[in-house]
Amino acid sequence: MTAGGTRQLQYRVAMREAMREALLADERVFLMGEDVGAYGGCFAVSLGLFEEFGPERIRDTPLSELAFVGAGIGAALGGMRPIVEIMTVNFSLLALDQILNNAATLSHMSGGQFAIPLVIRIPTGGGRQLAAQHSHSLEGWYAHIPGLRVLAPATVEDARGMLAPALADPNPVLIFEHVLLYNVEEEVPLEPATVDIASAAIRRGGRDVSLITYGGSLPLVLEAAAELATAGIDAEVIDLRVLRPLDERTVLESVTRTHRAVVVDEGWRSGSLSAEISARIMERAFFDLDAPVQRICSVEVPVPYAQQLEEAARPRASEVVRVARALVEGRPVDG
Amino acid sequence: MTSPSIDRDHAVQLMREMTRIRRFEEKCAELYSAGKIRGFLHLYVGEEAIATGVMRALEADDAVVATYREHGHALARGINANALMAEMYGRVEGVSHGRGGSMHVFDAATRFYGGNAIVGGGLPLAVGLALADKMQGRNRVTACFFGEGAIAEGAFHESMNLAAVWQLPVLFCCENNLYAMGTALARSESETDLVLKAAAFDVAAWPVDGMDVLAVEQHARRAVDVVRAGSGPVFLELRTYRFRAHSMYDPDRYRGREEIEHWRERDPLVTFPASMPDFLDQATLDGIERDVAAEIEAAIAFAEAGSLEAAADLERFVTMDRVPS
C-alpha cells in the first residue's frame, strides 16, 4: 500500500465511522444503549452521532439492560437492524437472560420462523484499574452459546470493517471491544476494506510456535513475537477474530506447521475459550505436536484495583516469551 | 355481568372460542396422562374469557407475545388447532416444527411471538416489537400477556418504564390469577394492587373482570383504541383464576377447595350462556360442543399422523441463512 492510500485511524473512531456508515446506508439501523446519545458514549465511541442522527436513531436508554437488550431483539423481529451498546461486559450479565433465552434461541425454538438480525456491542477486558465489576473478559461465556456469532476485533481495520457484515448477518452478533484498544491508532487503507466475520487471521507468519490469541491480547502477543524474533525464534501469531463459530482450520493448519501452540486468553483459565482451543488442538492435531499445548490466562481472581495487582492478574508479554521459548527449546515450561 | 348488547352471532362466536379452548385443553390433559404429550403442560382452564375477549380487539397485523400458558391465546389468535396439537406431539407439522412444545408456540403468519417460558421474558420483546412499529410509522399494536407473577420480575418494571418513556404502542395484559405457581400474591408482593404499580409508570391502567368475556372485549377495545391512537401503552389487570393446578406436576396444595369452588361459580363457560339464554340455548350450545369435538378429534388425528423430524435435522435453524420474509 502506498503512503497516499492509507491513513491513521483510531480504533474508537473506526467503530464510530462504521456505525455512521451503517446509519447512512440503512434507515432500519439505529443505536441504543446507556449514554450513547447526549453524553456521546461512555467510551466516546458514538460521539457526534446524536447530533447528526437525532434522538430517534441514537437512543439513550434508562439503566435497564434487560429491557433494552430485549427491546433490541423485539425490534429486530419487527424489521429493524438495531445496534445495542452495553456499557461494559459485566453489565451484560443483567441482560444475559434476553441474550441466551431469546436472542440465541428464538430461531430454533420457533422452527426457523424468525431471525434476529441484531448487533450487540460490548466493551470488555481490564487494564484500566476499573476493578472487579468493570474489567472482566467474559466473551468466552458467550462463545459457549449456539445461535450467537461472537466477534473480537483486535485491529483498527477489523473495528472499521466488522460492523457492516455483522449487521448483514440474519443472526445475533456480539462484538467485543477491548477497552485498551480504543486509543490504538493504526495505518489503514483510505477506502475501508471489506472484512469477513468467519475466519481467523495470521497476523505474523512463523515456523517455530503458534501463538493463538484474540482481542485485547493481540498487541502483547505481537510484542512477544517481536522479542522472540530477537532470540531467533520465529513465532506465528493467530488472531482468532471470530470466537464463535471458531475457525478451527486456521488454528490446526498453523499448529501442523509449527508443532507447538501457546494460547493467550484474558479470560480466566478454568472453562475458558483457551481450554476450548487447546482441546480442539488435542483432538485434531495431537500427533503433530512436539510439546503439550500451553495456556496463558488471567489469574483466577476478581480483577483488583491496585495497578501492580491488576497487572499481575493479566497475561503479560514477558510470560508469553518465557513459555514460548521453553517450548521451542524443549525445556520444561515450569522449570 | 355486562348487559348483553351484542347480537346472536357475536355471542355464538365468543362461546365457541371459549369452548374450543376449554375442550382442547381438557383433551390435552387426557393425552398428557396417556403419555402422548410430554414435558410441561400449563392449562388455561378458567381463564378463557381473557384470550377470547382481547384477541377480538386486535387486527390481523397486530402482534401477540404470550407466556408458557398460551394454548388459549394461540387458538383465539387463529392458530390452526391441527398445527397446535401437532406441536404438543412434537411433530414436524407442529406450529414450531416440534422444537417448542406446549410452552413455545410461535406463528409468523399471525404474528404470534411465543410462548415464552421465562417469567417476564416476553415483555422486553413486546417493547421492541412496538418500537419497531413506531420507528417505521406503522400503526400496529403489540399485545403482551403475562401473569401477575411477572410483576415481581425486574423485566416488568424495566419494560413498563421503557414503553412509557418512549410512548410505545404496547397493550400490557396482566392475567392476575392470584398465584405465581403456588405463591399467593399477598405472600410475594408488598403492594397487591397491580393497577397502582402500573400507574406508577404514568401508564393508563385499570382492572377488568377477567371472568366476564364481554367486559374483557369491551375494555380491550377501549385500551387498543388508546394504544393505537399513539397515546402510549395501556395496562389491563385482568382478574381471573385458573381452575386447575399450575401444571400437570402440581399437587395444588396451596389453595383451598372452597376457594376453587367459589371461583368455579364464575366459570365463563357457565355464566356467559346463562346471561343470554335467547342466543345461547341448549341446542346452540350442543351444536358448538359437537363442532368443537369434531375439530379436536381432527387435530388429534392430524397430530397422530404427523411425522417425526430426523435427528439429522437437529441443528437446523440454530442460525438462519436469511431473515424470513
Query: Tens digits of per-residue pLDDT, B106-163?
Result: 999 999 999 999 999 999 999 999 999 999 999 999 999 999 999 999 999 999 999 9
Q: Is A93 helix (H, G, I), strand (E, B) or coil?
A: helix
Banded model confidence at residue A194, pLDDT cuts 50, 70, 90: confident
**Rounded to whole angstroms, how far apart are CA atoms B123 and B84?**
23
Residue B296, all three cell numbers: 379436536
Q: How high does pLDDT run on average in chain A? A: 96
* Contact assignment for A78 to B136 by CB distance below 8 Å: yes
Q: Does B124 touch chain A (CB under 8 A)?
A: yes
Helix orientation angle between A317-328 and A218-230, rounded to the nearest 10 degrees: 50
Rounded Cα distance between A98 and A105, Å, is 9
Element (H, E) at B274: helix B268-275
Among B64, B140, B127, B234, smallest CA distance to A59 is for B127
Listed residue (A42, A49, A2, A45) closest to A24, CA to CA: A49
Q: How confident is the model at residue A64 (pLDDT cuts 50, 70, 90)?
A: very high
pLDDT at B248: 84
What does the pLDDT average to over A276-292? Answer: 97
Q: Which one of A73, A84, A109, A242 makes the best mutation probe of the B interface by having the most chain B beta carbons within 10 Å?
A: A109
The answer to whether the Cβ–Cβ distance between A109 and B135 falls below 8 Å is: no
Which residue is closest to B106 within chain A, CA to CA?
A110
Find where cell 522479542 sits: A227
Q: Which of A134, A148, A89, A125 is nearest to A268 (CA)?
A: A125
Please, what is the Cα angle at A58 between A156 and A82, to 5 degrees?
75
**B36, exposed or middle or buried, with CB in 10 Å at 0-12, 13-18, 19+?**
middle
**Minimal C-alpha gap between B100 and chain A (Å):** 5
Cβ–Cβ under 8 Å, residues B296 and B21: no
C-alpha cell at B31: 393425552
Nearest CA in chain A to B118: A101
Q: Tell me which residues of chain A have a C-beta less than 8 Å from any C-beta of chain B.
A: 28, 30, 56, 61-62, 64, 66-80, 82, 97-98, 101-102, 106-115, 117, 146-147, 149, 170-171
CB-hemisphere CA count at 13 Å for A119? 27
Using the Cα atoms of residue A223, residue A225, residue A226 and residue A230 in order, give the sign of their dihedral: positive
| Known catalytic residue at A134 | yes
B154 close to A (CB below 8 A): yes
Say whether the peptide bond before residue B277 is cis (omega within 30 degrees of 0): no
Contacts of A160 by beta carbon, 8 Å cutoff, 6+ apart: A9, A14, A15, A17, A18, A188, A192
Give CA A162 to chain center in angstroms. 11
Cα A170 to Cα A64: distance, rounded to the nearest angstrom:
25
pLDDT greater than 60 at residue A231 = yes
What is the total residue count of chain A? 335
pLDDT at A62: 98
**3-state class of A300 per DSSP?**
coil
DSSP label at B182?
T
Q: How distant is the Cα of A287 from the closest Cα of chain B, in angstroms? A: 30
pTM, entire model: 0.96
Cis ω on the peptide bond leading into residue B149 (within 30° of 0)? no
- Contact between A148 and B320 under an 8 Å Cβ cutoff? The reply is no
Distance CA A22, CA A163 (A): 8
pLDDT at A29 over 60: yes
Q: Which residues in chain A are contacts of B152 at CB distance < 8 A? A: none
Which of A74, A113, A114 is the closest to B126 by Cβ? A74
DSSP of B86-151, one letter per residue? Answer: HHHTT-TTSTTTTSS-TT--EEGGGTEEEEE-STTTHHHHHHHHHHHHHHTT----EEEEEEGGGG
Q: pLDDT tens-digit profile of A31-48?
A: 999 999 999 999 999 999
Answer yes or no: do A102 and B125 touch at CB < 8 A.
Answer: yes
Tell me how far apart the alpha carbons of residues A174 and A121 are, in angstroms, rounded to a whole number: 6
Q: What is the pLDDT of residue A1?
A: 46
- Beta-carbon contacts of residue B14 (< 8 Å; ≥ 6 apart): B6, B52, B53, B56, B213, B214, B217, B272
The single-letter DSSP state of residue B57 is T
pLDDT in tens, A134-177: 999 999 999 999 999 999 999 999 999 999 999 999 999 999 99
Q: What confidence category does residue A192 fall into, taking pLDDT thresholds of 50, 70 and 90?
A: confident
Amino acid symbol at A16? R
- Contact present, B92 and B64 (Cβ < 8 Å): no
B325–A contact, CB cutoff 8 A: no
* Domains of chain A from N-terminus onward: 7-189 (3.40.50.970), 201-329 (3.40.50.920)
The verdict on domain B8-313 having CATH code 3.40.50.970 is yes
List chain B residues with CB under 8 Å of A146: 318
CA of B161 vs chain A CAs: smallest distance (Å): 8
Q: Which residue has the cell 346452540?
A: B284
Q: What pLDDT was estimated at residue A3?
A: 53
Q: Which of B101, B92, B80, B90 is nearest to B307 (CA)?
A: B92
**Residue B40: closest CA among B100, B120, B121:** B100
What gap in Å lies between CA A99 and CA B92, rounded to an integer?
26
Catalytic hit among A34, A65, A177, A266 = A65
- Among the partner-chain residues B94, B155, B165, the one whose CB lies closest to the CB of A62 is B165
CB B180 within 8 A of CB B145: no
Using an 8 Å CB-CB cutoff, list chain B residues near A73: 124-125, 128
Q: Which chain A residue lies closest to B103 (C-alpha atoms)?
A: A109
Mean pLDDT of A103-111: 98
Out of A34, A85, A134, A136, the active site residue is: A134
Percentage of the residues of chain B whose pLDDT score is greater than 70: 99
**Residues of B whose CB is below 8 A from A84:** none
> Which residues lie closer than 8 Å to A11 by C-beta, 6 or more apart?
A153, A156, A159, A177, A181, A182, A183, A184, A185, A186
Cα-Cα-Cα-Cα torsion A270, A273, A274, A277, nearest 10 degrees, comes to: 130
For the residues A90-117, what does the mean pLDDT come to? 98
List the grid coordinates of B85.
Answer: 396439537
pLDDT for B2 = 46
Taking the CB of residue A177, how many other CB atoms lie within 10 A of it?
Answer: 27
Are B37 and B303 within 8 A, CB to CB? no
Cell 388459549 belongs to B72
Q: B318: which chain A residues are within 8 Å (Cβ-Cβ)?
A: 107-108, 146-147
In the Cβ-directed half-sphere of A270, how many Cα atoms lie within 13 Å?
Answer: 3
The distance of A172 to chain B (nearest Cα, Å) reads 9
Neighbours of A29 (CB within 10 A): 20
| Residue A108 a catalytic site member | no
**CA dist., res. B141 & res. B156, Å (int):** 18
For chain A, percent of residues with pLDDT exceeding 90: 96
As a whole number, mean pLDDT of residues A185-201 equals: 94
Query: Strand runs (DSSP E) across A173-313, as ranges?
Result: 173-178, 185-189, 201-204, 209-213, 235-239, 242-244, 261-268, 294-298
Residue A263: partners with Cβ closer than 8 Å, 6 or more residues away: A212, A213, A274, A277, A278, A293, A294, A295, A296
What residues of chain B score a pLDDT lower than 50? 1-2
Cβ of B124 within 8 Å of Cβ of A30? The answer is: no
**Domain spans of chain B?**
8-313
CB contact under 8 A, A64 and B162: yes
Q: Tell me the shortest Cα–Cα distance from B266 to chain A, in angstroms.
A: 36
pLDDT band at A2 (very low <50, low <70, confident <90, very high): low
Interchain proximity B158–A67, CB inside 8 Å: yes
ipTM: 0.96
Q: Do B158 and A76 lie within an 8 Å CB cutoff?
A: no
Q: Chains A and B: how many Cβ contacts under 8 Å?
A: 161
- A257-266, A325-334, B60-69: least confident range: A325-334
